[in-house]
Amino acid sequence: MSVSGKVYLVGAGPGRLAYLTVRGQQLLQQAEVLIHDALVGVELRSLIASTCQQFDVGKRGGKPSTPQAEINQLLVTQCQQGKQVVRLKSGDPFVFGRTPQEIQALKAANCAFEVVPGLSSALAAPLLAGIPLTDPVLSRSFTVLTGHDLDLLNWQLLAGLETLVILMGTRTLADISRRLIKQGKHPETPIALIRWASQPQQQIWQGTLLNIGQLTKAEKLSPCVMVIGEVVRLREFLQMEDVRSAVAQPPLAAQTVLVTRSSGQSSQFSDLLAAQGAKIIEMPALEIRPPTSWAPLDQAIAELASFNWLILTSANAVSYFFERIHDQGKDARSLAGVKIAVVGKKTAAVLRQQGLQPDFIPPDYVADALVAAFPEAVSGLKLLFPRVESGGREVLVKALTAQGAEVTEVPAYESGCPQQIEPAAIAALQQHQVTVITFASSKTVHHACQLLAQTLGDRWRHWLEGVCIASIGPQTSQACYEHFGRVDAEAQEYTLEGLTQAIEQWVQGSDR
């Protein structure tokens, strides 16, 4: 730990290591704490040391986000602990970000900070698509805006400008086109949409204000940069060799992966796969919700001081447990004197977001290993185990109880099957586009089969012929064998990173 803490607010650029500043790279390699946005990919995070704490505080439209006040406090808290903190923000810190608010919080707490520039996607994306933002004839200036709060913008003025660059506008694309045409912009004005600029999975759509909505109707567009203006036509003459061809073809470039994680938890895994070039289709087979009753958990929280250990075997358990603690006006200090055991890297990372370090993580990232490697004799100890309300495995509780521990199980959350399957997933299966389907828990296997059967009928297994069945670990694989009779790829390390690696190895082995 450093003698005095400091926060570095660093621009990550468009997300590729090749376009990160030298200063940014140095700071990432020295960071003790990394607090990053949703669009900051694994390539940049690979620079950090294994001992660096990571906090994902990304905001994505339409999905649960970390409140800005919590991010501000996290920066202050980590800095006051004497840490060297990197707040890694996509693009440039001062372009449509909340950096000024974070700086105000740091200054109010007398925390040292430094702002490091980054290459904004407003500049990088058009360049990488071969679109010049200025031209002596077609565009003597350009304007950058966001697609949020459209009613606050002067559309009559914007319609008269030569070149517009719009960030975060995919959800309002139709409205943007309509407003510009209404204010006099010619319907045939060229527009380009650049998704995942600089990344291996970069995509570009080109059309006009009139037809761009139809051209992209079935596409997932976010995260995307829009360029509107006559300069888009110059792309035909100026585009360089596809930026993706300048690097080795990513290992999953030809794969379409069906992800069955719950809708609120799929983004991290999807980002991991997308970073390796895969096309992602989400088919949530799990729905996370509160338990039937909070009473048992509330009672356990009231008696926290009487427990020796808190056992947390999933990120959901951490989130719901601490949400309930906060709802009761308490915080992490309530756990003073209570040791914490967690299963898995993800669970540990979510716990660290609460400002706490686990006292024990079993080496194999599975609940069974927790018993075998527990750091002390459990006989006579009181263990609190907040867990899923139904459907969880009983092996852990039975093994600890057999060794003399007093285990208090309390429901912290429930997981169930969604009511219906995503239409895009069904279409992809029926058109034989899917090459891999992934399962990160036994429940996702059971629920996915239930959803497929009720949607596709008795021949649902037919649609998975030739599709790689990828499992995160032995228990999930057991469920796969039960339903499919096979497992084609199983993670050696029972994490999302391990599952991604297993899929890559399957691709290499199958020579796809």
| 37 tagged catalytic | yes
Nearest alpha carbon to residue 328 among 291, 305, 294, 351: 294
Mean predicted confidence (pLDDT) in 481-509? 92
Mean predicted confidence (pLDDT) in 147-174? 95
More confident of the two residues 494 and 160? 160
**pLDDT at residue 31 in the model:** 93
Share of the chain above pLDDT 90, in %: 59
Helices 496-510 & 266-275 angle (0-180, nearest 10): 40
pLDDT band at 247 (very low <50, low <70, confident <90, very high): very low
Q: Are 285 and 444 within 8 A, CB to CB?
A: yes
Query: How does pLDDT run across 214-224, given as a tens digit for each residue?
Result: 999 878 888 89
For residue 478, pLDDT beyond 60: yes
For residue 78, pLDDT beyond 90: yes
**pLDDT at residue 438 in the model:** 97
CATH topology identical between 6-119 and 123-243: no
- Topology classification of domain 256-286+418-510: Rossmann fold (3.40.50)
Query: How does pLDDT run across 372-408, given as a tens digit for each residue?
Result: 888 899 899 999 999 998 876 678 888 999 999 999 9
**pLDDT at residue 300 in the model:** 93
Long-range contacts of 356-361 (CB under 8 A, 24+ apart): 356/332
**pLDDT at residue 365 in the model:** 61
Q: How far apart (Å, rounded) are the C-alpha atoms in residues 445 and 464?
A: 13
Environment class of 402 (CB within 10 Å of its CB; exposed 0-12, middle 13-18, buried 19+): exposed
Catalytic residue among 6, 135, 168, 330: 168
CB-based contacts of 123, cutoff 8 Å, min separation 6? 133
| 168 tagged catalytic | yes
**123-243: in CATH 1.10.645.10:** no
Phi, psi for 102 (deg, rounded to 5): -70, -40
Q: How far apart (Å, rounded) are the C-alpha atoms in residues 161 and 159?
A: 6
Q: Select the CATH number that applies to the domain covering 293-416 from these four: 3.20.20.370, 3.40.50.10090, 3.40.50.880, 3.40.50.20.
A: 3.40.50.10090
CB-based contacts of 316, cutoff 8 Å, min separation 6? 288, 388, 412, 413, 415
Most confident range (mean pLDDT) of 37-41, 176-180, 339-343, 411-415 is 176-180
CB-based contacts of 454, cutoff 8 Å, min separation 6? none
Mean predicted confidence (pLDDT) in 415-421? 88
CB-based contacts of 354, cutoff 8 Å, min separation 6? 318, 322, 332
**pLDDT at residue 512 in the model:** 45
Domain ranges for the chain? 6-119, 123-243, 256-286+418-510, 293-416
Q: Are 369 and 357 within 8 A, CB to CB?
A: no
Mean predicted confidence (pLDDT) in 98-112? 96
Catalytic residue among 37, 56, 271, 488: 37
Among 128-142, 273-287, 443-457, 488-502, the range scoring the smallest mean pLDDT is: 273-287
Catalytic residue among 6, 59, 220, 382: 59
Query: How does pLDDT run across 167-200, given as a tens digit for each residue?
Result: 999 999 999 999 999 999 999 999 999 998 988 7
Query: How does pLDDT run across 432-465, given as a tens digit for each residue?
Result: 889 999 999 899 999 999 999 999 888 888 889 9
**pLDDT at residue 60 in the model:** 59
For CA atoms 318, 320, 323, 328, the dihedral sign is negative
**pLDDT at residue 133 in the model:** 97
More confident of the two residues 217 and 136? 136
Q: Could you give the strand order of the β-sheet that contains 489-490, starting from the edge strand earlier in sequence?
A: 279-282, 256-259, 436-439, 468-471, 489-490
Among 165-169, 255-259, 319-323, 347-351, the range scoring the smallest mean pLDDT is: 347-351
Phi, psi for 420 (deg, rounded to 5): -150, 165
Chain Cα centroid distance, residue 26: 24
Helices 295-302 & 315-327 angle (0-180, nearest 10): 70
| 151 tagged catalytic | no
For CA atoms 35, 36, 38, 44, the dihedral sign is negative
**pLDDT at residue 371 in the model:** 82
pLDDT, mean over the chain: 89
pTM, to two decimals: 0.56
Nearest alpha carbon to residue 39 among 83, 78, 92, 85: 92
**Amino acid type, 347:** T
Q: Are 491 and 272 within 8 A, CB to CB?
A: no
Q: How far apart (Å, rounded) are the C-alpha atoms in residues 48 and 320?
A: 29
pLDDT band at 1 (very low <50, low <70, confident <90, very high): very low
For residue 266, pLDDT beyond 80: no
Q: How far apart (Å, rounded) are the C-alpha atoms in residues 460 and 452?
A: 6
Share of the chain above pLDDT 70, in %: 94
Nearest alpha carbon to residue 413 among 258, 260, 264: 264
Q: Are 386 and 321 within 8 A, CB to CB?
A: yes
Q: How many Å is the Cα radius of gyration of the chain?
A: 25
**pLDDT at residue 13 in the model:** 93
Mean predicted confidence (pLDDT) in 3-22? 90
Query: How does pLDDT run across 293-330, given as a tens digit for each residue?
Result: 999 999 999 999 999 999 998 888 998 999 999 888 88
**pLDDT at residue 50 in the model:** 74
- Topology classification of domain 6-119: Cobalt-precorrin-4 Transmethylase; domain 1 (3.40.1010)
Q: How far apart (Å, rounded) are the C-alpha atoms in residues 37 and 53?
A: 14
Q: Are 471 and 477 within 8 A, CB to CB?
A: yes
